Structure 1
Amino acid sequence: MILSKIFKNTLLLLAACLVLSACATKKEVTTSTDIQGQMQSDVYTGTDTVEYLADGVPDRVFFATNESILTTASRETLRAQAAWLRKNSSINIVLEGHADERGTREYNLALGERRANSAKDYLMTYGISSDRISVLSYGKERPVDGGSSPLAWSKNRRSVTVKAN
């Protein structure tokens, strides 16, 4: 009787350990470079959707899924924008925040605003006055790529710098 109870408890303990160890296993997500080096991780790195704020100064930066943290490439682009804006002090800009199609309208509007504000904060650290920068979120309403694929989504997760009228 006691041996049976110990055996049952041992089996339960082993089963619990197996279940818990399965939950703790982290699935390794590997994302290769798709379509001529246009994606790294889940961030778009190509140039076919990029326009230019000025000669050699890209107009947009890209973000990872559900993120508003600037990537290294995004910071480089924003530094170039800040340098151009310092030379052109009469120009005001609008930072448009965008998201991919996944998520609710409300969530994506808020995410787009966080992305645009992240770009704004970075430009301000490089001496651009907040008075010259407006923020506007379109959420998922203005996709640059209407597809439903990881590449299309990565192109749509962006902040675009445009000259204010």
Structure 2
Amino acid sequence: MNARRMRILIATGVLAFSAACSNKQAEQLPPAPVGSDGAATAANGLQAEGILDAAERLRRDFIAQVGSDTVHFVTDSHLLDARARQILDAQAAWLLRQPTVRVTIEGHADERGTREYNLGLAERRANAAKNYLAARGIAASRMNVISWGKERPVALGSDEASWAQNRRAVSVVVQGY
């Protein structure tokens, strides 16, 4: 009798487990990050249909007029070089022409160093860009800063070329007021 009860309990457990597994819904993945192939394909599909939202049109205009939303830094530094200042001057000019637009300045670091160190360095980089734009007449209230540290690289690789691409501050057009 014990063996029979054991078989029944095991069979019941297997059936319950199978039923629980079969009722699971497929895991939903978060949307692809901006700039990934999936997002670009989706944006192109929307553009073809003529329903790009205002924020996407502003972002595209920003890139078209300014040329770059990104400034790069040398290793372990948050100092703006001449090229970075040139890009930020163009960004400031565009932002002055668009007084209702807000931006988020994202700071990034390469993969070397601790998480804490890179978060701090990336924040200093984002603040350097923000302070430069503020000095060019952009209200600080129109700009937010976020530090991603080494968490969101644009180039995967453990070489100088990849690291150089990941040491950056990116101005992201968020919205109008």
* TM-score with structure 2 setting the length: 0.63
User: 1:55 deviation in Å?
Assistant: 1.3
Corresponding residue of 1:55: 64
Amino acid at match of 1:55: A
1:64-143 equivalence runs, <5 A:
64-143=74-153
Amino acid at match of 1:53: F
C-alpha separation in 2, matches of 1:131 and 1:138: 21
User: 1:54 deviation in Å?
Assistant: 3.0
Task: Give the secondary-structure state (helix, strand or coil) at the position aligned to 1:80.
Answer: helix
Corresponding residue of 1:147: 157
1:1-16 equivalence runs, <5 A:
none
> More displaced, 55-64 or 132-141?
55-64
Which residues of structure 2 form unaligned runs of 5+? 1-59
C-alpha separation in 1, matches of 2:63 and 2:116: 32
Amino acid at match of 1:102: R
Change beyond 3 A, Cα 1:52–1:116: farther
Task: Give the secondary-structure state (helix, strand or coil) at the position aligned to 2:127.
Answer: helix
Change beyond 3 A, Cα 1:161–1:104: same
C-alpha separation in 1, matches of 2:165 and 2:62: 18
User: 1:164 deviation in Å?
Assistant: 1.7
User: 1:52 deviation in Å?
Assistant: 7.6
C-alpha separation in 2, matches of 1:52 and 1:60: 15
* CA-based RMSD: 1.3
Q: Does structure 2 retain, via aligned residues, the 8 Å contact 1:52–1:59?
A: no
User: 1:69 deviation in Å?
Assistant: 0.1
Report the number of matched residues: 115
Task: Give the secondary-structure state (helix, strand or coil) at the position aligned to 1:118.
Answer: helix
Q: Does structure 1 retain, via aligned residues, the 8 Å contact 2:107–2:170?
A: yes
Q: Does structure 1 retain, via aligned residues, the 8 Å contact 2:104–2:173?
A: yes
% of aligned pairs identical?
Answer: 50
C-alpha separation in 2, matches of 1:83 and 1:56: 10
Amino acid at match of 1:162: V
User: 1:56 deviation in Å?
Assistant: 3.5
Larger Rg belongs to: 2
Q: Does structure 1 retain, via aligned residues, the 8 Å contact 2:65–2:94?
A: no
Change beyond 3 A, Cα 1:136–1:121: same
* TM-score with structure 1 setting the length: 0.68
